[in-house]
């Protein structure tokens, strides 16, 4: 095996390991919200979702952002002493940045809560601020080990963090609800449990570092420290944020919703308490949207190492076509059975129209994740980030304009509009730089036919029952329709010949150039 092939094999193994850890984290992160909402109600869920974006953004920076940039710096250095010097400079930057973010949110929590339209969120925000103190430890540890080619510590710390966080949150919520605590106290405690989970992940990194470097303390020389600090600020902070924007699209939108939905609903004429409950109902769709991006995230990570040369152009186009099929089928499926899913998971039909509307966003989310991976793989990181930011601006403007005149449905429409703009801009960038092979007109027509026939089939299947309010019955129908939908989708994909057998082999082989490819 040549050195290039050996390096590529290691890269595939590393990507697979990190992808598996990320997928486990996504599943845990999506699943626990459902029992949490069931225990605390829509207002309790609203409280948690209002502050969660701050926590989520911090954790994404500590998983995808800063470690990736730091690992890139470390990989260029051959001497252990140089790597330790880089760690020292990065540590100074991340500790100062984390401490600053902690102090800002801690001190200005009343201002932030007021901007959200709910001053009772102040203690919950203050509890959340502590997560920024853990970002330096997680980022440094993960960045160091990734830089020397070891992905196991990152994967282990992330899985431990998620398992502990979800377990702590649900145990605390159950105990607090049983004790009759208020929703804001429960929210603050849930964020404390989240931080304890992140602390468990940080502890893993500290123990691993200590076991290997307990006799090698980090060197620190005051001479030149200021220059190193300034250099690392430029290399680490902004690139670290830019690198992980693709992973925080939905968090970005949730953060915008946290500041605009409740004030917008009050301007629409909804009372304060009802506005909070409506925001909680709107957020019911978030776990389902997160589930919808899991396969696309795995697909993007799988093809990223293979995006090289002409074969990479073909494989990138294939990955986008697969994401369109999966995203389109998920959107049609959730839109059609939203009523059953809502009752099954959340006990009633409140917000079914919001869930159905937000289901449309699944059509774009898979595309965005995959296209972002292709653009980053082609070193178009800033362009990819620009497309995401542009969509966020549309989302923000849409919320400000639409919610006061149309209510919560305006927030859902703004989400779809923002994601659609990002998808369009990404498509333009992919076309401009010739990064993918575009699907043929025949393929596009067959794809549209797939969505229409799938939607019609699911609609016909649920005609005998109409609407259901009993949770058990709704669950049976939701699961039954899901199985039928998957079977129908697979049959249609095969019947319409959206993919050739060789194309599926290429995806499973990770872009092996020895695989022959068909045409669509």
Q: DSSP 3-state assignment of 130?
A: helix
241 Cβ partners below 8 Å, 6+ apart? 61, 65
Residue range 377-389, pLDDT digits in tens: 777 878 888 899 9
Task: Give alpha helix (H) positions in 269-407.
Answer: 272-282, 286-292, 294-303, 309-346, 352-359, 362-377, 381-406
Rounded Cα distance between 474 and 324, Å, is: 28
- Cα separation, 272 vs 278, in Å, equals 10
Q: Where do the structural domains in the chain lie, given as residue ranges?
A: 1-246, 254-510
What does the alpha-carbon distance between residue 256 and residue 209 come to, in Å, rounded to a whole number? Answer: 37
Report residue 92 CA to chain centroid gap.
28
Question: In this structure, are residues 399 and 414 in contact, taking their beta carbons and an 8 Å threshold?
Answer: yes
Tell me the pLDDT of the chain (520 aa) as tens digits: 455 455 445 555 655 666 677 677 777 777 888 899 889 989 999 999 999 999 999 988 888 788 878 877 777 767 767 777 777 888 888 899 999 999 999 999 999 999 998 999 999 999 999 999 999 988 888 888 877 777 778 888 888 888 899 999 999 999 999 998 999 999 999 999 999 999 998 898 888 878 776 655 555 454 545 666 777 777 788 888 877 777 788 888 999 999 999 999 999 988 888 999 999 889 888 888 877 666 666 655 555 555 555 666 777 777 788 888 888 998 999 899 888 888 888 888 888 899 899 999 988 988 888 888 788 777 787 888 889 999 999 999 999 999 999 999 999 999 999 999 999 999 999 888 887 778 888 989 999 999 999 999 999 888 877 677 788 888 888 889 889 998 999 899 888 888 877 766 655 554 444 444 444 4
The per-residue pLDDT for range 453-509, each reduced to its tens digit, is: 999 999 988 887 767 778 888 888 888 988 999 899 989 988 888 887 776 665 555
Using the structure block, give the residue that is written with the tokens 């697909």. 299
pTM score over 0.75: yes
């Amino acid at each position: 095996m040549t050195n290039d092939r050996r390096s590529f094999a290691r890269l595939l193994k590393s990507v697979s390991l990190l992808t598996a850890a990320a997928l486990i984290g996504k599943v845990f992160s999506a699943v626990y919200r459902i029992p949490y909402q069931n225990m605390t109600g829509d207002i309790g869920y609203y409280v948690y979702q209002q502050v969660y974006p701050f926590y989520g953004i911090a954790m994404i920076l500590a998983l995808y952002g800063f470690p990736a940039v730091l690992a890139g710096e470390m990989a260029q250095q051959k001497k252990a002493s140089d790597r330790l010097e880089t760690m020292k400079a990065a540590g100074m930057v991340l500790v100062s940045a984390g401490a600053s973010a902690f102090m800002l949110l801690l001190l200005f929590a009343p201002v932030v809560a007021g901007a959200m339209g709910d001053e009772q969120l102040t203690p919950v925000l203050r509890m959340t601020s502590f997560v920024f103190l853990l970002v330096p430890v997680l980022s440094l540890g993960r960045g160091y080990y990734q830089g020397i080619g070891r992905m196991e510590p990152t994967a282990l710390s992330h899985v431990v963090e998620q398992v502990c966080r979800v377990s702590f949150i649900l145990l605390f919520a159950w105990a607090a609800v049983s004790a009759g605590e208020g929703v804001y106290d429960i929210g603050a405690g849930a964020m404390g449990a989240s931080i304890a989970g992140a602390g468990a992940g940080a502890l893993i990194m500290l123990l691993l570092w200590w076991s290997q470097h307990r006799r090698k303390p980090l060197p620190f020389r005051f001479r030149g420290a200021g220059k190193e600090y300034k250099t690392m600020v430029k290399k680490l902070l902004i690139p670290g944020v830019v690198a992980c924007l693709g992973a925080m699209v939905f968090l970005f939108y949730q953060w915008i919703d946290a500041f605009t939905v409740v004030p917008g609903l009050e301007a629409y004429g909804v009372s304060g308490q009802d506005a909070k409950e409506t925001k909680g109902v709107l957020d019911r769709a978030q776990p389902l949207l997160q589930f919808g991006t899991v396969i696309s995230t795995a697909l993007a990570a799988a093809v990223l190492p293979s995006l090289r040369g002409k074969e990479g152009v073909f494989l990138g186009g294939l990955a986008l076509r697969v994401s369109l099929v999966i995203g389109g089928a998920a959107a049609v499926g959730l839109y059609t059975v939203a009523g059953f899913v809502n009752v099954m998971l959340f006990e009633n039909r409140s917000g079914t129209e919001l869930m159905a509307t937000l289901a449309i966003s699944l059509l774009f989310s898979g595309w965005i994740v995959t296209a972002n991976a292709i653009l980053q793989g082609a070193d178009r990181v800033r362009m990819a980030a620009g497309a995401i930011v542009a969509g966020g601006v549309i989302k923000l403007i849409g919320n400000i304009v639409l919610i006061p005149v149309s209510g919560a449905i305006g927030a859902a429409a703004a989400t779809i509009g923002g994601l659609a703009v990002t998808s369009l801009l990404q498509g333009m960038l992919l076309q401009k730089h010739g990064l993918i092979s575009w699907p043929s007109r025949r393929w596009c027509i067959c794809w549209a036919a797939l969505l229409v026939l799938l939607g019609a089939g699911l609609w016909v299947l649920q005609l005998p029952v109409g609407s259901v309010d009993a949770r058990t019955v709704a669950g049976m129908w939701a699961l039954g329709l899901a199985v039928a939908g998957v079977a129908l989708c697979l049959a249609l994909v095969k019947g319409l010949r959206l993919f050739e057998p060789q194309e599926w082999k290429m995806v499973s082989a990770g872009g092996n150039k020895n695989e022959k490819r068909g045409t669509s």
